[in-house]
Homo-oligomer: A and B are copies of this chain.
Amino acid sequence: MSSMVKKQLLTDMEGAAFAILARTGPSTSYAIARAFADSPSEYWSGSAGAVYPMLKRLKSRGLVATKQSADGKRAKIEYRVTVKGHAAFEAWLLDAKRGAGWGFDPLRARAMELDLVSATKGRRFLQKALAHTEALLREAPPNLHARERTIRHAWLKARISWLREALST
């Protein structure tokens, strides 16, 4: 018979947290929250009120484990990924169907409705959005790994060519 183990589906925020843990090794909730807050994508605030409870939930599901670390003097709780957690993370990461979903794109959402205003206002919006996006492309934030820079760059370029096309019609 098939396995009785329930699939441990991760939310996107949990997936992102596992990615941080995979990169930096065992980390405190504080460090994970900082990583969220410092990330260029402002989608999650990285607030303590979100991150601390999330790690506790993941622990209760057996996807992470704690190691009370008395690092010299200060007591801290370090979380590490368990085998079960690693499997859940990989399932999240390699879920191509979810990956190919629409997500939420603030530009797409607006572009869809631009015909509700005058052509002039619509074009002005697209021009401004293009300028903002090109600015993002120019000023790459510091502390970005090469891998992150590459994806960021490609994503912005795809968006820019889309905007240019929309403006050229």
Residues of A within 8 A of B (CB): 12, 15-16, 19, 22-23, 40-43, 90, 93-117, 121, 124-125, 128-129, 131-133, 136, 147-148, 151, 154-155, 158-159, 161-162, 165-166
Q: Which residue of B106, B125, B132, B151 is within 8 Å of A103 (Cβ)?
A: B106
Report copies per complex.
2
Known: A12-B104, A96-B131, A111-B151. 18 other contacts (CB 8 A): A12-B109, A16-B109, A19-B112, A19-B116, A22-B116, A93-B110, A93-B114, A93-B116, A93-B117, A96-B128, A96-B132, A98-B106, A99-B106, A101-B106, A103-B103, A103-B107, A104-B104, A158-B162
Q: Do A129 and B96 form a contact, CB below 8 Å, given A103-B106, A115-B147, A116-B19?
A: yes
Q: Which residue of B112, B116, B158 is within 8 Å of A159 (Cβ)?
A: B158
Judge whether B129 and A100 touch: CB under 8 Å: yes
Minimum distance in angstroms from A129 CB to a CB of chain B: 4
Judge whether B113 and A19 touch: CB under 8 Å: yes
Q: Which residue of B108, B133, B151, B155 is within 8 Å of A155 (Cβ)?
A: B108
Judge whether A94 and B107 touch: CB under 8 Å: no
Complex: chain B residue closest to A155, CB-CB: B108
* Complex CA distance for A131 and B100, rounded to whole angstroms: 9
